[in-house]
Amino acid sequence: MKHLLSTLDLSRDDAIRILDIAEEMAAVGTREVKKLPALRGRTVVNLFFEDSTRTRISFEAAAKRLSADVINFAAKGSSVSKGESLKDTAQTLQAIGADAVVIRHWASGAPARLAATDWIDAPVVNAGDGTHEHPTQALLDAFTLRRHWARARGTGSLGTDLAGLKVAIVGDILHSRVARSNLWLLRTLGAEVTMVAPPTLLPVAAGSWPCTINYDLDDALAAGPDAVMMLRVQAERMNAAFFPNAREYSRRWGFDDARLAALDAHGLAETLILHPGPMNRGLEISSGAADSSRSAVLDQVSNGVAVRMAVLYLLLSGDQQRTANETQG
Amino acid sequence: MDTGNAMQRTSGSQPKSARTVLSGDDIDRALTRIAHEIIEANKGVQDLVLLGIPRRGFPLAQRIAQRIASAEPGTDPAAIVGQLDITMYRDDLRHSTARTPSPTNLPAGGIDGKVVVLVDDVLYSGRTIRAALDAIADLGRPRIVRLAVLVDRGHRELPIRADHVGKNLPTATSEKVRVRLGEVDTANGLPLNEVAIEGQA
């Protein structure tokens, strides 16, 4: 594994390896000294062309817990606003001596471009590109699900996948890189995925995706999902009339208090509610649901640090150097 | 878990140049002696914690704890044994393949103010133990740290020595010392306990 650009080309073995390593990384977060010396002397650059709270802080915490040095770059207030190209920015980072680049970009495919060109040698981690993919979010969701269901069944989570788990992904699928990354990874790990959205918020290609599609949230909840993943309604990407108004969306596709009660009525005691954040409380998820005991929103955030530590550790230790040497002969 | 034996899992067939230097019974006798040495050096089992280094240090630590418990009645062997993973503290992370870390489990009482005995199968360069000392420093502050190994094969690269040694084995650097313990190793479906030296195949 040289880069982490997408979950589509992530093998089952690699995915489970990342989750297993994350399990040990999570244990570090509970210790008094929350630091490992594994990446001492390495530099990780957080290259953020798009706003982010959770992901950037999470990657920063992950790199720092592994003792790496972190350079945070935000497009706002940088030379990008003077018109500097991605190539020149990348070459600048190369000259500074970045050992890994974590990139979030508004353009789908920007991380792949960075990885495919010789602008920079460092491993590239996709931290969300346009409406394409957000692989570490999918990994942390899978980690959260795996842990919760292992605990609920009273088994260990190490080495296991998500076989047989039923996951409903609800909301703005059209613009969601989280939904795409989750779909590929959940399928790789053996889970069944149902996409629930108004037809206007489903991409044309969704018909060929390996998932079932349901336009009715109540119907999808009655089917007994093991987890419900609510997506943010991405107001900044709403450039057309996708639904009549926010109140109608909330009534039909929002996870409100009535649907929270419906989970109990269906006897789904262990069903989790996930949300990648930031939440629009009252729109796609009610405060009652977001703050309920079913909500794993804060677990997702703390698990995110562990998963990103695992990814940085795997990309920056051993393997990569070795393959470089091998190709040099 | 020093270089050489770490990657070895199970193997039914051995290279021709392999010779067994310790049988399962020899290992048992060595561990019994080490257990009594530990009790003697510590003047009892007060504050004693055994930390095994994955992979084979941990079953060794469990076996030693069993023997300590049978020599000193009233001791709960499970309560004094832990596992200490050192993967993230290795000094060769940049150059060797990325390793998947094992869990670190400390006994309920922690290690602050305790007498910690590190347990590993083979003492070779000493780099694993250096890493273990760093890992311990991040987990707490023991009163004393001691080292018990089943085999000391020489060729130290750091100023580290063991307090309790099962067997000193003079080796050449080209040879490999394989420790096989029934808890993790099998041959033809049966648990295998032995220490073997393999020449360069």
Which domains, from first to last, does chain B contain? 30-172 (3.40.50.2020)
* Integer angstrom CA distances of residue A247 from A33, A176, A254, B80, B133: 47, 21, 9, 60, 60
Residue A27 contacts B where some CB pair is shorter than 8 Å = yes
Q: What is the pairing mode between strands A166-170 and A124-129?
A: unpaired
Alpha helices per DSSP H over A189-295:
217-222, 246-253, 257-265, 287-290
Report the chain B residue with the minimal C-alpha distance to residue A32: B139
Point out the least confidently predicted range of A220-224, B12-16, B30-34, B47-51: B12-16
β-pair partners for A117: none
CB contact (8 A) between residue B94 and residue A317? yes
What pLDDT shows up at residue A219?
96
Do A12 and A189 touch, CB atoms closer than 8 A?
Answer: yes
What is the average pLDDT score of chain B? 91
Cβ-defined contacts of A54-57 (< 8 Å, 24+): A54/A277, A54/A278, A54/A301, A54/A304, A55/A104, A55/A127, A55/A128, A55/A134, A55/A136, A55/A137, A55/A304, A56/A104, A56/A127
What pLDDT shows up at residue A246?
87
Cα A257 to chain centroid distance, Å, stands at: 26
Question: Residues 130-169, chain B: which have Cβ within 8 Å of A?
Answer: 134, 138-140
pLDDT above 60 (res B10)? no
Of A55, A254, A251, A268, the C-alpha closest to A172 is A254
pLDDT above 80 (res B174)? yes
Residue B105 contacts A where some CB pair is shorter than 8 Å = no
What pLDDT shows up at residue A240?
74
Do B188 and B10 touch, CB atoms closer than 8 A?
Answer: no
What pLDDT shows up at residue B63?
97
Instruction: Please tell me the pTM assigned to this model.
Output: 0.90
Cα Rg of chain B, angstroms: 16
Element of type H or E holding B152: strand B144-152
Class of domain A12-133+302-320: alpha beta
What pLDDT shows up at residue B11?
47
Do B117 and B38 touch, CB atoms closer than 8 A?
Answer: yes
Query: Cα distance from A99 to chain B (closest Cα, Å)?
Result: 12
Do B143 and B113 touch, CB atoms closer than 8 A?
Answer: yes
β-pair partners for B145: B116
Q: What is the pairing mode between strands B186-187 and B144-152?
A: unpaired
Residue B21 contacts A where some CB pair is shorter than 8 Å = no
- Each residue's pLDDT tens digit, B99-139: 889 999 999 999 999 999 999 999 999 999 999 999 999 99
Taking residues B76-96, report their average pLDDT: 92
What pLDDT shows up at residue B7?
44
Report the chain A residue with the minimal C-alpha distance to residue B131: A37
Do A230 and A300 touch, CB atoms closer than 8 A?
Answer: no
Which residues in chain A have Cβ-Cβ distances shorter than 8 Å to B84? none
What pLDDT shows up at residue A321?
44
Give the C-alpha separation, A91 to A118, whole Å: 9
Q: Please determine whether the domains at A12-133+302-320 and A135-297 fall in the same fold group of CATH.
A: yes
Do A93 and A101 touch, CB atoms closer than 8 A?
Answer: yes
- Each residue's pLDDT tens digit, A125-182: 999 999 999 999 999 999 999 999 999 999 999 999 999 999 999 999 999 999 999 9
Residue B15 contacts A where some CB pair is shorter than 8 Å = no
CB contact (8 A) between residue A317 and residue B134? no
What pLDDT shows up at residue B3?
44
Considering the four listed CATH numbers 3.40.50.1370, 3.30.70.360, 3.40.50.2300, 2.60.40.3080, the one that applies to the domain covering A135-297 is 3.40.50.1370
CB contact (8 A) between residue A24 and residue B99? no
Q: In which residue ranges of chain A is pLDDT below 70?
A: 318-329
Query: Cα distance from A310 to chain B (closest Cα, Å)?
Result: 9
Element of type H or E holding A296: none
Give the C-alpha separation, B167 to A247, whole Å: 76
What pLDDT shows up at residue B15?
52
CA angle A138, A6, A239 (to 5 degrees): 80
Report the chain B residue with the minimal C-alpha distance to residue A311: B98
pLDDT above 50 (res B191)? yes
Give the C-alpha separation, A272 to A144, whole Å: 10
Show me where the domains of chain A are located: 12-133+302-320, 135-297
CB contact (8 A) between residue B88 and residue A38? yes
Of B146, B111, B182, the C-alpha closest to B41 is B146
Which residues in chain B have Cβ-Cβ distances shorter than 8 Å to A321? 94-95
